[in-house]
Structure 1
Amino acid sequence: MGRELPHSCPPTAAPQPFSHFGAECRMKKKLIIDVDTGVDDAQSIMVALAAPDVEILGITCCHGNTSLENVLKNTLRVLKVCNRLDIPVYKGCPKPLLAGKQNAGDFHGKDGLGDVPDPDAPGLDLLQEKRAVQAMLKIAKENAGEVTLVATAPLTNLAVAVQLDPSFPKKLKGLYIMGGNTESRGNTTPCGEFNFVADPEAACIVLERFTCPTYIASWEFSCRRSLPWSFVDEWLSKDTEKAAFMKKISSLSMTKARSAEYQKEITAGKGFNPCDVFAMAAALDDSLITDSDEVAVTVELAGTHARGMMVLDYMELLKKSHKVVIMKNVDSEKLKQMLINALK
């Protein structure tokens, strides 16, 4: 499914062990990225595009931060500024399985990218004809055991995919999710994180049925690992087209994040929280995670106040054999370097 890159390894008669490849011919990490492109998704996509030895086989789009149409436009805008419109983009689910639609227009802007439209943005005619779920299944089948799926949106596309093909998770190398929470501290409802609240049924299906290695960057974790504003100011001051783009689209959300209105949030005033980047960065470099827990999880669906909350089963009452890795700490210097590289 992936395109041949100019400096990719020449074909060989038979697969060679990894250690036999030269530095210039290392095996590429293959990714599918599932997004609801707002500002933080844009940051994570750009981090992935800047990473060495990574091949993005497709970007699948979902409702979430903004309407699906805006998500598609935003994704193409990000690829354009990075000169990577060769990467296929697929249209996914426009609404949750059962829940009412959510959006994050108050934070990311109504269009998801800070309400700073680009009159020269790419048109939706660049989208692939195949839909997102079918693309996920096809890519995973053609690259069985090699594809890492990074999910930074509501999990609707993933839930539909596993219902269409129950073997889908077994074909993945791993799944990295930004979503859920570990201490019932919500950012959308009193106890719920946005991506899970936006489609609780989908989140529950994914956490029940995806038994591939699964890593979760939760809301509270990302808040506590926020980066200093001094770093952000320096990061966005670089004299590059990508830095100018990021500064423009993130102006609204960063102004809100620094405001007194958000002082009661656990992120407020403490720094920059690039939520989705944590999941992406961990997918790109496993050594980024310096502390974690392994625990079975599920999602509360029936609670009046806790619907969409991720439940961690430390007492093992759920009797689930599959446990996920809950990220607790990361190497902040590696994370900063990834962000810096993204805007070069």
Structure 2
Amino acid sequence: MTKKIILDCDPGHDDAVAIMLAAASNNIEILGITCVGGNSTLENTQLNALKICTLINRTDIKIYAGSNKPINYDLVTAAHVHGKSGLDTDGDPIIVDSSYKIQEENAVDFIINECHKYIDPIYLCPTGPLTNIALSLQKDPSIKEKIKEIVFMGGAALCIGNITPSAEFNIYVDPHAANIVLKSGIPITMMGLDVTHKVNVNDEIIKNIKKNNNKSSKFFAELMNFYSRFHRQLYEIDESPLHDPCVIAYLIDETIFKGKLVNVQVEENSELTRGKTVVDWLGVTNRQPNCKVITEANANKFFDLLSNELSKLT
């Protein structure tokens, strides 16, 4: 059955791939894309969402602007990874038609209204800081009953962080929002660095997907050629983790991934460990499990899925 999703994101090169994967899949219906400040400012991320949907000829997808800052902290961005625009590449600029605009409705109100709109619960798929999701839950707690599952990219369970030694970027940016979501009681799946570093893009994969010879696959190659520079320098390897598409791939084919239901809490305030996802992997705290933490992925199946789906696009 087709899964109705709201893709909440901060595009972002890997967010762009997540959008393309969701748009291509027959198993996914995108109800809308909500944007948040994260990889870049909200002004940039919402424009980038318009650009991505324009490139793949999906201007039927409506884009909503959400929060431009975390709940309690100033916004931290990742221009060092994604460039000044948040979606820098060496390719030609994407021109958005003036008729394709950000919707007037705020992202938080859109999320709430969409949750109540359907008889069957929907999926929320955040691939950036969890601010929009947390604010929606605070504004209308009754939507909890209308959310089938929250599948988010963020956190680091058993591995090091990528913005500090202990924290993954999305959770670090808004740890308070992450805790609000994790304490909601909604079924939650966490696609953290443990698993996203199991699906690494290298030159061979980029070349093979580019062989699809359609505009979207060529755009994927442009995105990855820019995006991988930072990761190759940081990790000193010839490949780069592909974070955000894991969320969508999980919804399309859960068998690609393996994980464990555990308790997860987030450190909110410590200067040393702000944003750390404290994962009770061994159950030593006796805290109630609240999150399925994914740690394993079949990379071959993942990239076969990605290549096949991208080939369907323009």
Q: Do the two structures share a fold, i.e. TM-score over 0.5?
A: yes
Q: Could you give the per-residue CA deviations for residues 79-113 of structure 1, whole angstroms, max 9, x where no partner exists?
A: 11111110111010011111121111111111111
Identity among equivalent pairs (%): 30
Question: Deviating runs (4+, > 4 A) in structure 1?
Answer: 315-319
Q: How does 1:251-330 map to 2 (within 5 A)?
A: 251-258=225-232, 261-262=233-234, 265=235, 268-269=236-237, 271-289=239-257, 291-314=258-281, 316=283, 319-330=286-297
Q: Give 1 or 2 for the bigger CA radius of gyration.
A: 1
Residue matched to 2:72: 98
CA distance in 2, matches of 1:167, 1:318: 29
* Contact 1:201 1:301 survives alignment (8 Å): yes
Task: State the shift of 1:115 in Å.
Answer: 4.9
Cα distance 1:98–1:199, how it changes in 2: closer, same or farther (>3 A)?
same
8 Å contact from structure 1 (residues 293, 327) kept in 2: yes
Q: 1:314 to 1:329 in 2, by over 3 A?
A: closer
Deviations 1:261-284 (A, max 9, x none): 32xx3xx41523110011111022
2: CA distance, partners of 1:221 / 1:283: 15
The CA distance in 2 between the partners of 1:303 and 1:156, in whole Å, is 19
Within-5 A mapping of 1:197-276: 197-209=172-184, 211-258=185-232, 261-262=233-234, 265=235, 268-269=236-237, 271-276=239-244
Say which SS state the counterpart of residue 240 (structure 2) adopts.
Answer: coil
Structure 2 distance, partners of 1:302, 1:74, is 31
Give the stretch that moved more between structures: 274-283 or 38-47: 274-283
Query: Cα 1:205–1:318, aligned 2, differ >3 Å: closer, same or farther?
Result: farther
| Cα shift at 1:248 | 2.5
What residue is the counterpart of 2:135 in the other structure?
A: 160
- Per the alignment, do residues 81 and 108 of structure 1 end up closer, same or farther by CA in structure 2, a change over 3 Å counting? same
Distance 1:229 1:303, change over 3 A: same
For residues 250 and 271 of structure 1, do their structure 2 counterparts lie closer, same or farther at Cα, with a shift above 3 Å needed? closer
| CA shift digits 1:91-143 (9 cap, x unpaired) | 10011111121111111111111255726224485221111000001111112
1-structure distance, mates of 2:305, 2:149: 20
Gaps of 5+ in 2: none
**Residue 322 and residue 256 in structure 1: after superposition, are their counterparts in 2 closer, same or farther (change >3 A)?**
closer
Match of 1:177 among 130, 139, 152: 152
Contact 2:69 2:75 in 1 (8 A): yes
Between the aligned partners of 2:180 and 2:228, the Cα distance in structure 1 is 33
Instruction: Report what 1:133 is aligned to.
Output: 108
Structure 1 pair 224–28 and aligned structure 2 pair: CA distance change class (3 A): closer
Give, in angstroms, the shift of residue 174 of structure 1: 0.8
Q: CA deviation at 1:153?
A: 0.6
Q: Deviations over 1:18-49 (max 9, x none)?
A: xxxxxxxxx42111100001000000110111
Matched position secondary structure for 1:275: coil
Q: Is the 8 A contact 2:182 2:264 kept in 1?
A: yes
Q: Which amino acid aligns with 2:127?
A: T
Let me know the Cα RMSD of the aligned residues: 2.0
1:331 aligns with 2:305: no
Normalized against structure 2, the TM-score is what?
Answer: 0.92
